[in-house]
Structures are given as structure tokens and as C-alpha cells.
Amino acid sequence: MIIVENVSLKPYNTFGIDVNARIFAEMQNLQDIQLFLNTAKYKSIQKLILGGGSNILFTKDFEGVVVKINTKGIFKAKETEEHVWLNVQAGITWDDLVNYCIDNDLGGIENLALIPGNVGSCPIQNIGAYGVEVKDSIESVEVVDIKSMQMYELKNNECNFGYRSSIFKHELKDKVIIVSVTFKLSKKHQLHLEYGAIPDELTKMGIKQPKIRDVAKAISNIRHCKLPDPKEIGNAGSFFKNPTITAKDYLILMSSFPELPSYSQPDGTYKIPAGWLIEQCGWKGHRENNAGVHEKQALVLVNYGNASGEEIFSLAEKIQQSVKKKFGIELQMEVNII
């Protein structure tokens, strides 16, 4: 366990925002976590649990303790003829897990290739892309209660998973530390190729009978073309959630905007691509000093240099206001604002 004071968080968030943590603690294993939580001097101090720093925007210094979870390990918990259950420690990089599953011919999360962040963060947001959400592969999540230091497990149906949401983002926010996640993965694959971009990319690749490796590669190619690499340009991926509107509101909008793209939902509502709404308001490629909207994907806000978190947050609010004015839709931020 490493505990230091007055640490810059710039290397620990994909936006590359240069703010300081009053105290910064790195946990290498479960024993570190429990020892830290049992240390009297840290019990009453505000804590921020940090994974890969890929879904966070710092707007100021953090006056509490930033706890970085670095636990490692992938273990086979169970296997049948059709499935394998993997228990994965929270500090594993998400894309490392995706590659591990592909190398071992385990299907279920290949559509989530190249999403930044760590395994411990994936249940919080219920990460999703290209027709797949991580909840579809999560069997259970193991946590440590910050106050009691007790360890317990939540089954999938206890996690209250929703669109970019979970119990960890609401009822259990700042109350638990995710230690590991158990995934149920398939040995007999059911590929998800519904999104038009995937078949098109597979065709470009010359693949007629794709395997999970091909699907992951196709999605990686698409993401490379559309999304900026956080190592080159600071960003947190999708900044806003895709809004869902009622059938009544959808018909009203269609009358004014017949080109409106949409995806019908099982409950009769319609999901609208937030990137399209933002682009229609003229924000795509827009730049204000070092804060901006990416030139290829309007859903991604970027730090072109030394932008502050306040500058990026201010830009996000302007985008929300313009979308609300033009379409009557309130965009919700997907990124956690600190």
C-alpha cells in the first residue's frame, strides 16, 4: 500500500485535468483495502474510489483521499460445457480482460472492445456499446463496505442495472469499494452484429463468417476512426447519455425533424443518439481555447491541451442548453463531475 500527500491527478484521469489530491492511496490487494479502511486517521475523511479514471471530470482539487484500486488477477471460478465463469479483480484494465477472453475463445464482451477504464468501474456505469451492455455478462459483484469493512456479494439482479446506471452509482455510491467482478462467458457464441457499422466493417475486412476476434477487431477499427485516443487527446469517451423520449414526443419531433435517427425500445419509448442532437446544434468540431467537441464525434468532449475541468464543464452546459432549446430534450451527463 502506498499513501502520499499532495499528488497531481493528471496522470490518473483520461481527460488529463491537472488537479491535486490532498491524499493519494494505492491499494494492491484486499488486505491493503481493509487495512486502509481500518486506519483511524482516514475513517472520517471523504474518499473517492478511482479505477482507470476514464469516466470522471475533475473541476477542482480533491480535499479528501483518492483511493486507486490496483488489484490484479483473473481466475476461472467454474466451467460447464457451454460457459466459463471468470472472477476478475477490480484493477484489471478492461480491454486486457476483453483480449484475455478473445484469446481463450470466451464470448460475451467482444462488442465492448477498446472501452477505456478498469474492471472495477464497469458495473458502476453498466458500460455498453454496439448493442451490448456489460450487465448481460455479469454474474455477481464482490464489494467491501467502507464503514463496516465487511465483504459481501451482490448477484446480478441485486445490482439494479439500467442504462449507464447501477446500484453502485446511486444507493451504494461512496459506500462500497468494488473488489472483483464475476463474469459468465460463453463457449458457444451468439454474435451481436445488429449495428450497421459492424457488418460494413466486417465486409471491408473481407470476413464472411466472423468469430468473436473478428467482431472485436471490427469494433476496434470503428472506434479508432471515430474516437480520439485519450493518450493523444484528453477525453472520457461519450460525455452524454443517449436520451430516451416518449412515443408522443417522438412523433412531435419527427414532424419537425423527419431525418431524426432513433432506436425503438421494448417499453415503447425511443432512444435518440445524443451525438446527432449535438451535431445538429453546430457543436461538432467546436473549440473554446483548449476545450472542445471532437471533430469526428460530437458526443466526445476533449482537452486539447491545458483545459481546466471548469472550462470543459462550462462547454458541456452550453451544449445542454442549446439541445434543450432546439429539440426540447435534456441531455444528461454520463461523466462523473467532481
Catalytic residues: 164, 238, 334
**Gap between the Cα atoms of 148 and 161, Å rounded:** 24
Query: Which residues, 6+ apart, have CB-to-CB distance to 32 below 8 Å?
Result: 1
Cα separation, 275 vs 22, whole angstroms? 36
Alpha-carbon distances, residue 177 vs 37, 90, 335 (angstroms): 10, 9, 19
Cell of 326: 432546439
Q: How many angstroms separate the Cα of 68 from the Cα of each of 26, 57, 94? A: 5, 16, 15
Supply the angle between the helices 212-226 and 197-205 in degrees, to the nearest 10: 110
**Cα 48 to Cα 87: distance, rounded to the nearest angstrom:** 24
Amino acid at 311: E
Dihedral angle of Cα 211, 214, 220, 221, to the nearest 10 degrees: -150
Cα angle: 85, vertex 54, 106; to 5 degrees? 20
Maximum pairwise Cα distance, the chain = 62
Helix (H, G, I), strand (E, B) or coil at 272: coil
Considering only CA atoms, which of 313, 236, 322 is closest in space to residue 279? 322
Q: Phi/psi of residue 203, each to 5°?
A: -65, -45
* Burial tier of 120 (Cβ tally within 10 Å: 0-12, 13-18, 19+): buried
What are the backbone angles phi and psi of residue 261, rounded to the nearest 5°?
-75, 150
Return the DSSP state at 174: T
Q: Report H helices in 88-163.
A: 94-103, 122-125
